[in-house]
Homo-oligomer: A and B are copies of this chain.
């Protein structure tokens, strides 16, 4: 008896890093209780009390500290995985006879019980937000606890299905938008910091647009948003766009819509892509609303450029402008890795079917801009008629569709790289 108890204690204790024999902390015991509730919740057939129990589980989860959460993740990984024997048998049976019954059994046994747990938690009010938060917390632990990846695999699969484009609502964000949403823009903006409501207001004036995707279950919470400025021509400098005291222009006379900032808001939805849909949808909508717009383009950072230059020990002192423009052109068209251009922003836009149009010198003079890319920025052009073809070129032929000027500069970089 004593031994069995000790065994159990060891087994359980090891999860929370507690030494065998030690009393489990209050937080860990809370996690255990939560796991018990979820087991009942997921097994419940009649679902008679599903809603109440789901609410309880959310309250319990939100009461966990970091230790409790970790313990909870461990339990999810260990106790809510598929049954190994059952999976193997179901796979063998279906391999022998792919009948509907065997197919059903295969699907049932392979799906980890965690997924049902998450679906049940989602039934409570605020469930979806809680699960997005849960994944956020989980992602923060994965590096040190890689075996928890199985939990993330299930959760991200489910969230990917739930945040399907078909369920997202495209909404214009302007000065009539609830402050509760606007303050999130200020908090989340990742590219060009927004300095409070006054700064934000300028970005929502009549010569600007801001659009976001929203999910019905996450009220007031943008998933991703894009900021657009209407200008006369393809811009080479982000300064005038960000200047808070600039004159408001007339959108019906602008020639070019610049996507100057795209921000994903929910770290708990990392890896679930919305930005590509957003840009194309917004471009199409603006095209219909303002026929005067001829060019849809970004003014984008090159976040990995400086690090790449410095890692290679390239000297940029002599004729820095030409040198850097050439190197950037090379970097954005020829630095492939695993089937993708290494720069993450380039990868995103080129993968979406944009064309690499122009490298701009001294386009972002902010500390961050200089630190990332010597102040260089780049225009990606979205020509909706070419997006499909450009994308295919990129994916199938590993070719970056770019302007002649960029191509020339990239070639001129080759001597510099010793290529």
Which residues of A come within 8 Å of B, CB atoms? 45-52, 81-82, 84-85, 87-88, 90-92, 94-95, 98-100, 103-104, 106-107, 110, 119, 122-125, 127-128, 146-147, 149-150, 153-154, 157-158, 161-162, 164-167, 169, 175-180, 182-183, 196-197, 201, 216-217, 220, 273, 276-277, 280-281, 351-353, 387-388, 390-392, 394-395
Contact = CB atoms under 8 A, between A and B. Distances in A.
B179 A122 contact: no
Copies per complex? 4
Contact of A91 (B87, B119, B176): B87
B388 A49 contact: yes
Nearest to A49: B388
Contacts of A162: 161-162, 164, 167
A395 B46 contact: yes
A174 to B, nearest CB: 8
A353 B49 contact: yes
A95 B100 contact: no
A52 B277 CA distance: 10
A123 to B, nearest CB: 4
A116 B183 CA distance: 36
Given A48-B276, A95-B84, A387-B49, A153 B103 contact: yes
Contact of A46 (B51, B280, B351): B351
Contact of A178 (B85, B128, B177): B177
A92 B84 CA distance: 9
B51 A127 contact: no
- Secondary structure call for the A interface: helix
B95 A87 contact: yes
A3 to B, nearest CB: 20
Contact of A149 (B100, B280, B352): B100
B180 A178 contact: no
A189 to B, nearest CB: 16
Given A45-B395, A106-B110, 5 more contacts: A47-B273, A48-B351, A123-B165, A179-B201, A216-B216
Contacts of A196: 196-197
Given A119-B161, A149-B100, A153-B104, A48 B182 contact: no
A48 B391 contact: yes
A127 B196 CA distance: 33
